[in-house]
Amino acid sequence: MGMITDWPSLAACQNGDPDALFVQGAEQNVAKRICRSCPVRYECLADALDNRIEFGVWGGMTERERRALLRRHPQVTSWRKMFEAAMKKSAKDKASKDRILAATTSS
C-alpha cells in the first residue's frame, strides 16, 4: 500500500473554495476540519512539507504547525517516503494482530 501520486484529484477540498484554506486565526480550525475526513490527507501534507509550502492549511496542518514539525525533524529528507514507510509498518502490524486474533478465536 503506497501513497497516491495523483492526490489532488481525490482531495476533499477540490470542489470547495480554495481561499477557504488560506485563512488566519480561528478560521484555520474550520479549514483543518475539511482535512479530517480527506482520503489523501497524508499525501497532501507530505507534498506541503517536502516542497516547503509556506501558506495555507495543507494536510490538516497550518503553516505554523508545519514549520514546527520541520524544525523538530530536520533529518527527514522526504516526508512522502517517511509516511509511506509508516503506512506499510502500520498495515503489517495490523495484519499480525489480525492473525493472532484469528488464531486465538478459532481455538
Give the annotated binding-site residues: 13, 35, 38, 44
Question: In sequence order, what DSSP letters do the residues of 13-79 get, joined into one string?
Answer: TTTS-GGGGS--TTHHHHHHHHHHT-TTHHHHHHHHHHTT--SS-BTTB-HHHHHHHHHH-TT-S-H
CA atoms within a 13 Å half-sphere pointing along the CA-CB vector of 6: 2
Binding residues for [4Fe-4S] cluster: 13, 35, 38, 44
CB 61, CB 48: distance < 8 Å: yes
